[in-house]
Amino acid sequence: MILSIYLYGQPVLREETKNVPKDYPELKQLVDNMFETMYHADGVGLAAPQVGLSLRMFVVDADVMGDDFPECKDFKRVMINPEIIEESEEEITLEEGCLSLPGIHEKVSRAKSIVISYQDTDFNTHEEKIEGFAARVVQHEYEHLEGHVFIDNISGIRKQLNKGKLNDIIKGTAKCSYRAKAVGK
């Protein structure tokens, strides 16, 4: 089932998320729905707050970027209750976007590699080192769980330049090819 994607300005994107409990009802169904919603919107990651749920979990599938970034090949994960435990000092600056901010693309600096621990849908714990663009995708989604969005990382000037677009997203008049929930609509 395709879920509505909550857009910039929605309070849920700013809330502190809670750990997913082991008895969370129909977790696998939720994960399936999140993947379906993400693929339908041509995204490579989707975090629970983006579908209106204040939970520490996200899905990623960056395989589509495998030609440009080999580390993304077959990189499909569900990360439940993740914790980034290490970040490389070295950073890379590249352009990114977000399904909650349609039409906005800005350069963001992120750690080149990270080590993250997380649980899968059976609540088995994994620890994984992730590099390059795959690490970028994971850091972007992780940030959603902390109540942040990627635009928080850009300069005041860049933010000012995007003000019109941000207001359109809030008002619900921004162009968006998927089912979305704007504050103003």
5 vs 31, beta carbon nearer Ni ion: 5
**C-beta of 25: minimal distance to Ni ion in Å?**
25
Considering just the CA atoms, what is the radius of gyration of the chain in Å?
Answer: 16
Q: How far apart are CA 7 and CA 116, in angstroms?
A: 27
Output DSSP code: residue 33. H
Residue 6 beta carbon to Ni ion: minimum distance, rounded to whole angstroms? 11
Query: CA 93, CA 110: separation in Å to the nearest integer?
Result: 6
Choice between 27 and 98, CB closer to Ni ion: 98
CB of 97 to Ni ion, least distance (A): 8
Name the residue nearer to Ni ion (CB basis): 98 or 104: 98
Choose between 38 and 127: whose C-beta lies nearer to Ni ion: 38
**Catalytic-role residue among 15, 96, 106, 141:** 141
Contacts by 118-122 with C-beta closer than 8 Å and gap 24+?
118/77, 118/79, 118/80, 118/81, 118/82, 118/83, 119/20, 119/79, 119/80, 119/81, 120/78, 120/80, 121/27, 121/28, 121/31, 121/78, 121/80
Q: Tell me, yes or no, if 106 is annotated catalytic.
A: no
Binding site for Ni ion (CB under 5 A): 98
Helix ranges restricted to H, 9-162: 27-40, 132-145, 156-161
CB of 144 to Ni ion, least distance (A): 6
Q: Catalytic positions, please?
A: 141
